Amino acid sequence: MALGGIITAGVAYAIIAIVVLIVGYRWLNYLMPGIVTGTVVMVIGLNLSVSAIKQAASTPFDAWMALVTIIAVALVSVYAPACCADCLYFSAALWGMEYTPSWDWLVSGRKLILPRSVRRRG
C-alpha cells in the first residue's frame, strides 16, 4: 500500500519536472509564492520541534549533547567560511558522530566500543 503511494508520488514529481523543463518555472512561482511555501515549511518545523525536544531531553546527557550541537551549528553558521556554513546539517552530523560517543565514554566511564573497521588489528 505504501509502496504504491511512493511510486505515485515519484511519477507525479517526474511529470512536474518535465513540465517545468518544457514550460519554465515562472508558473510554479505564481502557483506557490514564497509566502505560501515559507509558511508551510515553518508549520512543519514547529510541529516537528515538539518531538525533537522530547527526544533531546530524554536524559540529561542527551539534553547537554543537543545543546552543545546547537551551539556548534550556530558557531559554524556565523564564523565558518561560506563553503562550510552552507552545509550546516552535515557539520551537525559530523559533530554528533565525532563527539557524542567520546563524551559518553568520558562521562559514564563505560568501555568505548568501536566498530571492527576502526579497531586495531593485532
Q: Which domain holds residue 10?
A: 1-31
63 Rama sector, left if φ>0, alpha if ψ -120 to 50, beta otherwise: alpha
Q: Residue 47 falls within a domain, yes or no?
A: no
Q: Residue 112 falls within a domain, yes or no?
A: no
Residue 18: the pLDDT is 94
Q: Residue 111 falls within a domain, yes or no?
A: no
Average pLDDT, the chain: 78
Residue 22: the pLDDT is 93
Per-residue pLDDT of 53-79, as tens digits, reads 887 777 787 788 788 778 877 887 788
Per-residue pLDDT of 25-59, as tens digits, reads 888 888 888 888 889 999 998 998 888 888 777 77
**By C-alpha distance, which of 92, 63, 65, 62 is closest to 76?**
92
Q: Which three cell numbers stand for residue 85?
A: 556554513
Task: Say how many domains are in the chain.
Answer: 1
Q: Residue 15 falls within a domain, yes or no?
A: yes
User: Rounded distance, CA 54 to CA 66, Å?
Assistant: 11
User: Rounded distance, CA 73 to CA 66, Å?
Assistant: 11
pLDDT at 2 over 80: no
Task: Report the pLDDT averaged over residues 3-7.
Answer: 88
What are the angstrom distances between the C-alpha of 111 and each of 12, 90, 117?
Answer: 50, 27, 17
User: Rounded distance, CA 9 to CA 23, Å?
Assistant: 21
Residue 12: the pLDDT is 95
Helix (H) or strand (E) holding 69: helix 60-79
Q: Which residue has the higher pLDDT, 95 or 111?
A: 95
Q: Which residue has the higher pLDDT, 122 or 75?
A: 75
User: Rounded distance, CA 51 to CA 34, Å?
Assistant: 26
Name the pTM for this structure: 0.47
Q: Residue 122 falls within a domain, yes or no?
A: no
Q: Residue 67 falls within a domain, yes or no?
A: no
Q: Residue 66 falls within a domain, yes or no?
A: no
pLDDT at 110 over 80: no
